[in-house]
Structure 1
């Protein structure tokens, strides 16, 4: 992530002042695994992904190694596709953030990049987190009425892993379909009120806690999420 703090969100064709800018790792998998490491220095942690053969990719590998995170399955693309990155534009006075994402190698990440047998032999684990669904193009693909992500999650569960899925707040016409075909293999679902609405084809931006709780129950009872649904919202 390139986090850019500005004085205001500009109207189109106008200007905002950048107050400061920092480079950091970002995205669900990186943030979760770094938080886990900060909580427990001895927890066995492994990260799986596809990076570009570039400075950003090397930076991420080195950063994970410094935190004693297993990087054996951080693969490097064999072409010039860049490591995925995001410009996070944060308005200083409100803290509100807007995201501009280059999917890069994330769009090429597929089930072939995950070797659960080898991973678990090296680092015994019980949780598998995958994010962000709906912007992982290869894993979002639908084959024989099943997403590649669903096949991957099924395999993870066969290895005894609890599965955790995180969505992203970017609508596309297949959003609900991808969710429907994937959620039966999800133990723990994390999403916000926008993503909840994209899945159920309705708006929860002005929803009450009761309405959101009812929608979360629907994801378990009708969409077959196995254990928990966590909805975070303003």
Structure 2
């Protein structure tokens, strides 16, 4: 059965500045290259879900500009329904400026723009879309109150919710945590949220139990190039190793993981380890290519990579 996934989140056009290393304060560096690509954590996750085979819809906002039209076309080309993306004349489409060094690591500056004008009314207008979903995903590049409204509507219709806790907030409201079925932080975000330093399985379990106490049915802690830890309960948890590859650009790796996961995961979490392995595979392809949207793999590419390992 094909999963139906709705993403509510950000839509950005990325400017990628390829540099040898990050500049020191006051230092001027020459760039190797400058490129442009679609991005935004929300859009990345939506495209990852759509390309991985999910029936995907998007709730978001762009400016009345060329970047906005580019983003809508980018999602449409990746099998994402854009009927719930609205256009505002009051702000420009979101943008991100990515400093990418020779080791494939990045630093990112984000202009929220139209993303910050996504409202509770926009969510209410998309209630039918939310109600007809198996999963709804959000992050923290759009207003928190809008995310809360979306997740509350999702729970009204028995839709599973996935909260990706990035960019890392200092604190998440109890109201949002209470309606988040799956919480997916990285190890740094997990420590910020729980006060537990994530270093091994015991500390991951401790952090997960603290997040369970906040309302999460499942916790997935991503640990960069090592893989991902999941904890549903004391009888259903484990660590799924990442695939070893040469990283060119880590942009959108985490977003690819979330989107690909949602395309495969059963709402009862019965195939959690297999879905995470699939998501790890998708991310391993993403980091070997440059840019956000251009790097996100299709289902056929993921399946081909899987077959090559057998």
Given the two structures, how large is their TM-score scaled by the length of structure 1?
0.81
Cα shift readout 1:151-173 (whole Å, capped 9, x = no counterpart) = 331111212311111122445xx
2:92·2:113 contact (CA, 8 Å) conserved in 1? yes
1:131·1:167 contact (CA, 8 Å) conserved in 2? yes
Cα distance between partner residues in 1 of 2:67 and 2:118 = 17
| Equivalent residue, structure 2, for 1:186 | 180
The number of residue pairs the alignment matches comes to: 210
2:60·2:84 contact (CA, 8 Å) conserved in 1? yes
| Equivalent residue, structure 1, for 2:190 | 196
| Equivalent residue, structure 2, for 1:111 | 120
Instruction: Report the alpha carbon displacement of residue 203 of structure 1 after superposing the two structures with TM.
Output: 6.4
2:196·2:206 contact (CA, 8 Å) conserved in 1? no
SS in 2 for 1:18: coil
Cα distance between partner residues in 1 of 2:200 and 2:173 = 23
| Equivalent residue, structure 1, for 2:73 | 62
Cα shift readout 1:92-125 (whole Å, capped 9, x = no counterpart) = 1x2211110111112221221123443268xx42
Map 1:7-26 onto structure 2 (within 5 A): 7-26=20-39
SS in 2 for 1:186: coil
Cα distance between partner residues in 1 of 2:64 and 2:177 = 33
| Equivalent residue, structure 2, for 1:228 | 218
Cα shift readout 1:188-209 (whole Å, capped 9, x = no counterpart) = 1111122222223x363x7334
Pairing partner for 1:85 from 82, 85, 95: 95
1:8·1:17 contact (CA, 8 Å) conserved in 2? no
Cα shift readout 1:120-148 (whole Å, capped 9, x = no counterpart) = 68xx421111122xx433x34xxxxxxx5
Instruction: Report the alpha carbon displacement of residue 38 of structure 1 after superposing the two structures with TM.
Output: 2.1
SS in 1 for 2:174: helix
Pairing partner for 2:138 from 130, 142, 150: 130
| Equivalent residue, structure 2, for 1:34 | 47
SS in 2 for 1:37: helix
Unaligned 5+ runs, structure 2: 1-13, 225-310
2:181·2:215 contact (CA, 8 Å) conserved in 1? no
- Change beyond 3 A, Cα 1:101–1:5: same
